[in-house]
């Protein structure tokens, strides 16, 4: 074990939540209020998943919960449903993080797209079963497609602008454990 810089760790966690909140605020800026326009890709999902693979200790589950629950509240989405899905999804990745780090990037990309598609489809099915209003399925398909396209871009920005690379075996993570 090496010495852990606690200030740095908590600062990084705080920054993650702050980025999440600013993404949410960006999402609700009234640019164009016509119905049926193309949805924005879910960049915050991409960011969260990229964090969980590269720096899981900087994206703690309570941070993910806080930011996504705030998003559910502000965007008039069903309360708690997407948050539940993303908490489960990010836990699946977190538990198998070693495997995800050994995958090639294409495989990681495929997995993240698959997880997002599963989240969206199961959300649609649950809302349908509960007889709640569902958004139009075509729009949801566009959302999945655009998010899939946005994932490599997010990872690229994180890697080359902010230096997030996948930890190599033998490095220490933010909690001071050897990987």
Partner 1 sequence: MSVSNDNEVYFRRSLRRVFIAILCICLFAIFLVWRIDNPRAERFRMAVIDRIMPNVEWAMAPVTRASRMLSDFQSYSRIYEQNQELRRELQQMKAWREAAIQLEQENARLLDLNNVKLNPELTYTTGVVLTDAGSPFRQSSLINIGRRDGVKDGWAAMDGLGLVGRVSGVGENTSRVLFLTDSSSRIPVEVAPSGQRAILAGDNSPLPPLEFVDTVDQVRAGDRVFTTGDGGVFPPGLLAGTVFIGGDGRLRVKLSADYRRLEFLRIIRFRPTAPIAEPGRLVGPTLPTDANQ
Residues that bind partner 1 (CB under 8 A): 24-37, 39, 61, 65, 69, 73-81, 83-84, 87-88, 91, 130, 132-133, 135-136, 139-140, 143
Q: Could you give the CA distance from residue 98 to residue 100 in angstroms, rounded to a whole number?
A: 5
CA distance 33 to 111: 33
Dihedral sign, Cα of residue 174, residue 15, residue 115, residue 80:
positive
CA–CA separation, 177 vs 148, rounded Å? 32
CB of 41 to partner 1, least distance (A): 13
Identity of the residue, 33 or 106, whose beta carbon is nearer to partner 1 in the bound complex: 33
Q: Which is nearer to partner 1, 53 or 143 (CB)?
A: 143
Minimum CB–partner distance for residue 94 and partner 1 (Å) = 10
User: Nearer Cβ to partner 1, position 87 or 150?
Assistant: 87
What are the distances in angstroms from CA 27 to CA 15, 41, 111, 171?
18, 10, 25, 36
**What are the E-state strand segments in 16-166?**
none
Supply the minimum distance, in Å, between the C-beta of residue 125 and partner 1: 14
- The residue (of 30 and 169) whose beta carbon lies closer to partner 1 is 30
Instruction: Compute the least distance from the CB of residue 107 to partner 1, in Å.
Output: 25
Q: Which two tokens stand for residue 43?
A: 């960049």
């Amino acid at each position: 074990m090496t010495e852990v810089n606690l200030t740095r760790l908590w600062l990084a966690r705080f920054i993650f939540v702050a980025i999440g909140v600013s993404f949410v605020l960006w999402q609700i800026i009234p640019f164009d209020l016509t119905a049926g326009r193309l949805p924005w890709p879910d960049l915050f999902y991409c960011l969260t998943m990229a964090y969980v693979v590269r720096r899981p200790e900087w994206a703690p589950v309570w941070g993910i919960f806080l930011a996504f629950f705030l998003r559910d509240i502000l965007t008039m989405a069903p309360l708690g449903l997407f948050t539940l899905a993303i908490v489960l999804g990010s836990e699946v990745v977190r538990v198998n993080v070693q495997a995800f780090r050994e995958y090639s990037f294409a495989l990681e990309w495929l997995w993240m797209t698959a997880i997002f598609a599963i989240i969206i489809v199961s959300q649609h099915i649950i809302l349908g079963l509960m007889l709640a209003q569902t958004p139009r399925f075509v729009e949801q398909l566009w959302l999945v497609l655009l998010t899939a396209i946005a994932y490599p871009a997010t990872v690229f920005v994180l890697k080359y602008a902010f230096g997030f690379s996948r930890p190599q075996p033998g490095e220490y993570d933010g909690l001071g454990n050897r990987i």
